[in-house]
């Protein structure tokens, strides 16, 4: 593979596209019989736009955002998006030349002013947009656009078009993000002249409009996670599922990424010898609590690496279920691959990676089984389904098909339906790794990371932990 990867996203052919009339009708229905207010929909639309941007263009690299807002609701979406982007750590600027005196819009302006977000007139805009901004947010026209753009928007659109053309030699030019419709494009026919703006990202709202079929930029997102079933049914809308609690979903052709160019620059507070706890377990607990407080999902997930007598290592994720001075505990099937390897070679390593904190913790040491009582106690604390699952699963053995697992699961569910205590299989239980090495890694800029390693040392017959700094 030549370093190229297609990232996952929804199949564009399975998504519905709306005509201009349908878009306007849906708008009216949402705000009529379905009880929404325009403020609500605009807030959700603007939030979807801001979260889509944050998914692709990180604030650390694309900080300066110029939101160009038009006279209608598309412009309102831009104002809302700019406010959210401010709170996400971006630096927004607003160009809003044709203001609407309605309270909704004056409120949005006041909110931005209270955040000290600068408002620029068309005359204030720098002659070359490409040097001053990292993101140009096109919130000029939405689905009610018709005809040819009138002043002052005609000139602004020309500058966006010109900037992209004259900038092809520049290393990094700003990206254009269009809300709902690339402004100036025909809502259904798209970029009729072929001379229109060429956004890098399009965030369609509610459902893509027909013109979006002509969008060939790298990032097509759908936002506006508020479509109620009556609308979806009436307009026969096929929309991709939104992941988790996300306000946006990537649709369209998956962007090609150059794996070799994928890298993050870690920016973190420095991590010094003076500030760490003399006891690595206490230090681990401190970092673990910080990972949990930072809202990391499964901060207790760790990679466990083992090797049997053939010396060939293998890794898999397991969940940390306890940690104290005696070591790190996880539970599994003693007859699994890892179980067999540990019976041949009771040494292992554990690895935690807390991505958003730029932290890694590495633990190495000897492994033994926890007491049967400890395993019993933990086993019975698990949800019933997981207890049955552990009985069903002869972990790491070949199964002929998923239905076999389901069949056995159903039989056991039936068998244990009136039983208080589901018996723990003998071959299921915990392991405890007693550390002989713990290393705390804090990512830093230019790959000059902090690495503090603890190893036990005997001083006057007493075991103490020696801390050394390792080169990154
Ligand atoms: N579920 C939904 O539906 C949701 C929709 N939402 C958002 O609403 C958007 C649609 O909003 P919208 O209807 O206000 O229309 P939009 O295009 O922003 O502006 C119309 C303005 O532009 C003007 N104008 C038109 N042509 C022009 C020209 N050639 N040159 C100059 N001006 C021109 C026109 O003036 P007029 O021609 O009427 O005098 C009017 O003032 C939609 O795309 C989405 O972003 C979300 O907020 C929430 C959920
Ligand atoms: C986040 C995560 C946590 C996991 N936790 C455990 C666990 O605590 N115990 C376990 O036996 N398997 C766990 N698994 C499944 C293992 O990664 C692995 O598939 C399984 O234990 C079989 O590994 P083996 O064949 O190398 O023994 C987890 C997987 C993931 C992705
Ligand atoms: C097969 C298996 N066993 C055990 C666990 C440990 O988790 P828990 O005891 O919380 O179910 C996991 C977690 O993913 C797992 O996949
Ligand atoms: K737009």
pLDDT tens-digit map of 415-456: 999 998 999 999 999 999 999 999 999 999 999 999 999 999
pLDDT score, position 12: 53
Nearest protein CA to atom 4 of ligand 3, as residue: 332
- pLDDT tens profile 183-235: 999 999 999 999 999 999 999 999 999 999 999 999 999 999 999 999 999 99
In angstroms, the CA 345 to CA 381 distance is: 29
The residues that are catalytic are 447
Mean pLDDT score of the chain: 94
Closest CA to 471 of 450, 456, 457: 450
State yes or no: pLDDT of 249 exceeds 70.
yes
- pLDDT tens profile 54-94: 999 999 999 999 999 999 999 999 999 999 999 999 999 99
Q: How confident is the model at residue 347 (pLDDT cuts 50, 70, 90)?
A: very high
Tokens of 61: 């690299």
pLDDT score, position 171: 54
pLDDT score, position 167: 47
Tokens of 98: 């044709």
CA–centroid distance, 347 to ligand 3, in Å, is 21
- pLDDT tens profile 272-288: 999 999 999 999 999 99
In angstroms, the CA 442 to CA 269 distance is: 8
Nearest protein CA to atom 10 of ligand 2, as residue: 332
- pLDDT tens profile 97-139: 999 999 999 999 999 999 999 999 999 999 889 889 999 999 9
What is the number of residues in the chain? 472
State yes or no: pLDDT of 5 exceeds 70.
no
Ligand 2 site, CB within 6 A: 298, 301, 314, 316-319, 330-333, 336-338, 395-396
As a whole number, mean pLDDT of residues 224-249 equals 95
For ligand 2, mutation pick of 296, 299, 308, 316 (most atoms within 8 Å of CB): 316
- pLDDT tens profile 362-378: 999 999 999 999 999 99
- pLDDT tens profile 151-182: 999 999 999 998 855 545 545 789 999 999 99
Nearest protein CA to atom 6 of ligand 3, as residue: 319
Complex ipTM tops 0.90? no
Nearest protein CA to atom 3 of ligand 2, as residue: 318
As a whole number, mean pLDDT of residues 248-262 equals 84
Domains in the chain with CATH codes: 20-257 (3.40.50.10260), 280-469 (2.30.110.10)
CA–centroid distance, 32 to ligand 2, in Å, is 51
Q: How confident is the model at residue 14 (pLDDT cuts 50, 70, 90)?
A: confident
Cis peptide before 152 (omega within 30 of 0): yes
- Calculate the alpha carbon distances from 330 to 43, 286, 314, 368 in Å: 44, 19, 17, 11
Contacts of 79 (CB under 8 A, 6+ apart): 46, 67, 69, 94, 96, 105, 108, 109, 112, 139
In angstroms, the CA 10 to CA 362 distance is: 36
38: enclosing H helix or E strand: helix 38-56
CA–centroid distance, 294 to ligand 3, in Å, is 23
Tokens of 298: 């499964």
252 lines ligand 1 (CB under 6 A): no
């Amino acid at each position: 593979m030549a370093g190229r990867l297609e990232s996952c996203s929804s199949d564009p052919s399975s998504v519905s596209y709306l005509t201009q009339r349908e878009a306007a009708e849906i708008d009216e229905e949402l705000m009529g019989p379905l009880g929404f207010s325009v403020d609500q929909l605009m807030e959700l639309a603007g939030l979807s736009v801001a979260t889509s941007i944050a998914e692709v263009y990180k604030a650390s690299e694309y900080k300066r955002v110029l939101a160009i807002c038009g006279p209608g609701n598309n412009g309102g979406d831009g104002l809302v998006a700019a406010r959210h982007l401010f709170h996400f750590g971006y630096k927004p600027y607003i160009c809003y030349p044709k203001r609407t005196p309605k309270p909704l819009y004056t409120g949005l302006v006041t909110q931005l002013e209270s955040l000290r977000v600068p408002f620029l007139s068309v005359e204030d805009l720098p002659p070359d947009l490409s040097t001053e901004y990292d993101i140009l947010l096109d919130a000029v026209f939405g689905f009610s656009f018709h005809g040819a753009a009138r002043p002052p928007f005609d000139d602004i659109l020309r500058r966006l078009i010109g900037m992209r053309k004259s900038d092809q030699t520049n290393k990094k030019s700003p990206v254009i993000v269009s809300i709902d419709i690339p402004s100036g494009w025909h809502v259904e026919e798209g970029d009729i002249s072929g001379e229109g703006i060429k956004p890098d990202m399009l965030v369609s709202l509610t459902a893509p409009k027909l013109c979006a079929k002509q969008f060939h930029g790298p990032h097509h997102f759908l936002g506006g996670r508020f479509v109620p079933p009556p609308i979806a049914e009436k307009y026969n809308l096929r929309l991709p599922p939104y992941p988790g609690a996300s306000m946006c979903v990537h649709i369209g052709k998956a962007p090609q990424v150059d794996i070799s160019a994928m890298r993050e620059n870690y920016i973190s507070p420095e991590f010094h010898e003076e500030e760490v706890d003399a006891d690595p377990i206490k230090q681990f607990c401190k970092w673990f609590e910080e990972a949990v407080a930072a809202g990391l999902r499964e901060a207790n997930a760790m990679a466990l690496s083992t090797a049997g007598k053939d010396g060939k290592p293998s890794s898999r994720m397991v969940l940390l279920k306890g940690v104290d001075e005696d070591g790190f505990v996880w539970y599994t099937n003693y007859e699994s691959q890892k179980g067999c390897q540990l019976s041949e070679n009771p040494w292992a390593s554990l690895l935690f990676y807390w991505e958003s904190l730029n932290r890694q913790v590495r633990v190495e040491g000897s492994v033994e089984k926890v007491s049967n009582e400890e395993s019993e106690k933990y086993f019975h604390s698990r949800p019933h389904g997981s207890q049955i699952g552990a009985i069903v699963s002869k972990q790491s053995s070949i199964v002929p098909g998923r239905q076999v697992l389901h069949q056995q699961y159903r039989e056991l569910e039936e068998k244990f339906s009136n039983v208080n205590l589901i018996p723990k299989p003998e071959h299921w239980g915990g392991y405890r790794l007693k550390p002989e090495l713990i290393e705390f890694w804090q990512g830093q800029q230019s790959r000059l990371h902090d690495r503090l390693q603890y190893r036990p040392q005997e001083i006057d017959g007493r075991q103490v932990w020696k801390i050394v700094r390792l080169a990154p």
